[in-house]
């Protein structure tokens, strides 16, 4: 894709970012998201730690709209009978505080929302497993504005769906982040092993656990499935990175590119959103892929976009990253920045500042001072605030990191 083609794509496609905290929301907006999705206090699938109260949803809507960004609220859990009237009331409340759309998976819930609040835009969640144009048409007839395609859909299938649905029906697809080993997230493993249903927001991520074999007559003896003393994560899938095939996804008719990660940090959101934003704005693909390698991730694959996954499950335990996160810039005064520290920084190390819509700014850490203004050789206390010199263009809301290859040893 040429730079002009990329700019044209940026004009017509939406980059949709996750937010599990207000800090992540701010990062998503600052680093180029066109829309942000989050979970409210009811029926969202990140019930454990990434839900916003109604007051915070309203605050998020005001912040997003002030920056020209839309806000969507996920209410895509499986719905019980007694919850249908509640979701209808919930829709009306969300509409009243300025939410632009609800992400819903249950057929009954979609109907309840549209009956109670016809003006609320509905997006059909990937949990609904929509993989064909007839299903998409049914959702459209129920009043849906958008369908979030099943994660198992290939580019060829997306093109076929697009050609056989009304022009007004939008298609959204996940392009980055963690993937579930179950079909579009419909998993019973967590419920079976822990009593926490993934389909009701309580997933314990049991697929990421390490598993080993036991033999009937040898209780307590554990045998690794492969010759690996740490066990084997045989159900853990690779992370999705669709940037290598993003041009093809766009040409197939997708109008919203969705990044997964409501459990992720503001730094992760900034890195992922920033890489896709820069590519859509015309940056070199290799540079943007390098940015995606900088943030914490499991091994990457392009998922099902090119067909069935053959070699992208069985991800090793743990994460990969080319950079270590140092901290977030709080403010700038003169030639110095104040930073809230997360990981140690030593004078003389090469630092990169992750900044919106352009390549990272590189400089050498020097003239580090603690909060009292005393010179220090290194900043090392987590959550403490320190200051240092930084070049022009680095300021509040940026993130500092160091590359392993340049600073190891």
CATH number at residue 284: 3.20.20.60
Residue 227: the pLDDT is 41
Contact 38, 262 (CB under 8 A): yes
Domain that holds residue 148: 3-179+237-301
Residue 315 located in a structural domain: no
> Could you tell me if 391 and 287 lie in one domain?
no
Residue 35 counted as domain residue: yes
Q: Do residue 279 and residue 392 come from a single domain?
A: no
User: Who wins on pLDDT, 305 or 77?
Assistant: 305
Q: How many domains does the chain have?
A: 3
Is residue 312 situated within a structural domain? no
Asked if pLDDT for residue 48 goes beyond 60, the answer is no
CA separation for the pair 257, 246 (Å, rounded):
9
Whether 309 is in a domain gets the answer no
The pLDDT, as a whole number, for residue 221 is 74
In a shared domain, residues 257 and 191 = no
pLDDT of residue 40: 93
Q: What is the CATH number of the domain that holds 389?
A: 2.40.30.10
Structural domain contains residue 311? no
Residue 21 lies in a domain: yes
Same domain, 68 and 187: no
Contact 254, 232 (CB under 8 A): no
Mean pLDDT of 97-101: 98
**pLDDT of 217 higher than 90:** no
Q: Parallel, antiparallel, or unpaired for β 212-215 and 378-379?
A: unpaired
- The token duo for 353 is 């500042």
* Phi, psi dihedral angles at 81 (to 5 degrees): -55, -45
Work out the average pLDDT over 232-236: 60
pLDDT tier, 120 (very low <50, low <70, confident <90, very high otherwise): very high
- Give the residue from 49, 92, 87, 94 showing the smallest Cα distance to 73: 94
Say whether both 282 and 156 belong to one domain: yes
Structure tokens at 30: 């600052």
Same domain, residue pair 130 and 194: no
- What is the band of 46 on the pLDDT scale with cuts at 50, 70, 90? low
**Does residue 141 fall inside a structural domain?**
yes
Same domain, 169 and 187: no
Q: Do both 69 and 17 map to the same domain?
A: yes
């Amino acid at each position: 894709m040429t730079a002009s083609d990329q700019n044209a794509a940026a004009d017509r496609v939406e980059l949709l970012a996750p937010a599990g905290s207000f800090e992540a929301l701010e990062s998503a907006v600052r680093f180029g998201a066109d829309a942000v999705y989050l979970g409210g206090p009811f029926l969202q699938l990140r019930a454990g730690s990434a839900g916003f109260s109604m007051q915070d949803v309203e605050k998020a809507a005001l912040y997003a709209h002030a920056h020209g960004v839309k806000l969507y609220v996920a209410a895509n859990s499986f719905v019980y009978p007694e919850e249908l009237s509640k979701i209808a009331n919930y829709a009306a409340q969300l509409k009243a505080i300025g939410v632009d759309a609800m992400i819903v998976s249950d057929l009954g819930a979609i109907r309840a929302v549209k009956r109670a609040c016809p003006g609320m835009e509905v997006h059909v969640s990937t949990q609904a497993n929509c993989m064909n144009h007839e299903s998409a048409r049914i959702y459209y007839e129920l009043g849906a504005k958008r369908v979030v395609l099943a994660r198992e859909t290939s580019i060829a299938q997306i093109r076929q769906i697009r050609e056989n649905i009304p022009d007004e029906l939008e298609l959204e697809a996940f392009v980055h982040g963690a993937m579930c080993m179950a079909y579009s997230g419909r998993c019973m493993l967590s419920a079976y092993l822990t009593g926490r249903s993934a389909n009701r927001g309580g997933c314990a991520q049991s697929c990421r656990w390490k598993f080993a074999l036991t033999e009937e007559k040898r209780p307590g003896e554990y045998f690794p499935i492969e010759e690996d003393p740490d066990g084997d994560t045989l159900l853990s899938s690779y992370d999705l990175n669709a940037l290598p095939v993003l041009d093809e996804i766009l040409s197939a008719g997708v109008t919203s590119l969705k990044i997964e990660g409501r459990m992720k940090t503001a730094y992760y959101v900034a890195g992922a959103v920033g890489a896709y934003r820069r590519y859509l704005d015309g940056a070199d693909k290799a540079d943007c892929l390098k940015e995606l390698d900088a943030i914490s991730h499991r091994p990457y694959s392009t998922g099902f976009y090119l067909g069935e996954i053959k070699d992208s499950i069985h991800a090793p335990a743990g994460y990969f990253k080319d950079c270590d996160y140092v901290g977030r810039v709080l403010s700038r005064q003169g030639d110095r920045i104040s930073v809230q520290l997360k990981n140690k920084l030593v004078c003389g190390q090469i630092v990169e500042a992750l900044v919106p819509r352009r390549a990272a700014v590189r400089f050498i850490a020097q003239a580090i001072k603690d909060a009292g203004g005393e010179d220090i050789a290194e900043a090392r206390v987590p959550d403490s605030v320190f200051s240092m010199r930084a070049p022009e263009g680095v300021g509040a809301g940026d993130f500092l990191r160091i590359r392993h290859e340049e600073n190891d040893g």
